[in-house]
Copies of this chain bind each other. A is one copy, B any other.
Amino acid sequence: MLSTRNYVLTETHRFRPTNWHNVFAAMKPALVVASGDTIITETLDAAGTNARGEQKANRPNPMNGPIYVAGAEPGDALRVEILRIDPVRATGWTRAALSANVLEPEYARNLPPRDVCNWIIDLETSTVQLATPPATLKQLILPCAPMIGCFGVAPAGGVAISTATSSRNGGNMDYRGFTAGCSVSFPVGVTGALFFLGDCHAAQGDGEIAGTGVETCCDVELRLTLEKHRSIGWPRGELDDRIFTVGNARPLDQALQHATTEMVVWLKSDYGLSDSDAAHLLGQTVRYEVGNVYNPAYTMVCSIAKKWLPEKPNQV
C-alpha cells in the first residue's frame, strides 16, 4: 500500500479523554492531530467501566474521541494503523447465553438468561479464562487476542450513528482482525475526519454470537494517516498477508454484497483488473470472515491474499 503519510516530524499524543460518546457524529474534537501522528489512549469497556472498575460513561460502547485530523475532507480516506493493543485490566466479562438471532427461532425457548460472567485476563501469560469455569470448560484457557470492537469516523450528511451499530463509516463491527498489525481506512465524511474508538475485547469468536467478546479496557497505540483524494465506499484494510474490505448491513447477504462490491471496485481502480479479471481472482481465492452477527448491522469481511495480487500499475 502506498502511504500518503508525511515524512516530516510527526508527534505522539497521549490522549486521556474526560468524556465519552455513544454516537459517531460531527462534534467538537477532543484532540487535534496531524496526518502521521501517533495516538496512545486507554479505552473503557463496552459498559463504560475503566481499568480501575469505575463507571465513567454510559452504554453502549462509549468512545474515546473524536480526534480531528488536520486537512481531512470528504472524499479523502483516513488510514488507521493499529500499532499496539494491550489489555490493562485483569478482568473481562461476557454473557452466559448465545444471542437468540444466531439460533433457529424455536430454539430460543431453551436459552438461559443472558447473565454477566467474569473472565480472568492474565496479563503475564497473556491468556484469558472464565473466573469460575464449569467442569467442562477447565481446559478453556485462550490466548489473549486483543482487538478493537468499535471504531471509525463521523458519517457525512449530519448523521449520528449509534455506537451499537455500524455503517460505511465503520462503527461497531466486532471483527477479530482489528488487532495489532492491522491497518484500516475509513471514508472521511466530515472536515477533520473525527475519529473515535473504544469497546476493546481481550478475545472473541467470529460473529460475537454471545453478544460480547471478553469485554475489557485496553491501552491502544494508533497511527492516523490522511489519504488525500482516496475515495472509498466502505472500510478497506490490510493485514500482514491480505487486503480486505468490510460491509456492514443486514442480512449477512447484504453485508457480503457491500464487501464484495467494494473489493471489486478496489481491484479495478488500483490493480488494473477488469470485472472479468476480478471474477477470476476472487472466484478462486476470496475468503470471507464474519465480523459480527449480533449488532443491528452485521459485518462481513472480504479478503484476498496479497500473494495473488498483481503489481499495482500506479505504483511505479
Tell whether A104 pairs with B253 under 8 Å between CB atoms, given A159-B161, A205-B284.
no
Chain B contacts for A109, CB-based, 8 A:
100, 108-109, 111
Chain A contact residue count (CB 8 A cutoff): 90
Tell whether A98 pairs with B278 under 8 Å between CB atoms, given A108-B108, A109-B111.
yes
Central interface residue in A140, A206, A207, A276, by most chain B CB within 10 Å: A276
Binds B, one of A6-14, A130-138, A190-198, A237-245: A130-138
B106 touches A100 (CB 8 A): yes
Which listed residue (B95, B117, B264) contacts A103, Cβ 8 A?
A: B264
Copies of this chain assembled into the complex: 4
Tell whether A282 pairs with B159 under 8 Å between CB atoms, given A136-B277, A256-B102, A258-B104.
no
Tell me what chain A mostly uses at the interface: helix, strand, loop, or mixed: mixed
Chain B contacts for A117, CB-based, 8 A:
280
Tell whether A112 pairs with B275 under 8 Å between CB atoms, given A94-B284, A204-B284, A207-B286.
yes
Chain B contacts for A98, CB-based, 8 A:
260, 264, 275, 278-279, 282-283
- Distance in angstroms between the alpha carbons of A208 and B260 in the assembled complex: 12
9 contacts between A and B (CB under 8 A): A23-B158, A23-B160, A97-B279, A102-B256, A112-B279, A159-B160, A204-B283, A207-B286, A253-B253
A94-B284, A112-B274, A250-B253 known, 7 other contacts, Cβ within 8 Å: A98-B260, A137-B281, A140-B284, A142-B284, A204-B283, A205-B282, A249-B250
Closest 6 CB pairs of A and B: A210-B283, A100-B105, A160-B160, A108-B108, A205-B286, A101-B105
Binding site for B on A (CB under 8 A): 21-23, 25, 94-112, 117, 128, 130, 133-140, 142, 157-162, 203-214, 249-254, 256-258, 260-261, 264, 271-290, 293, 298, 308-310
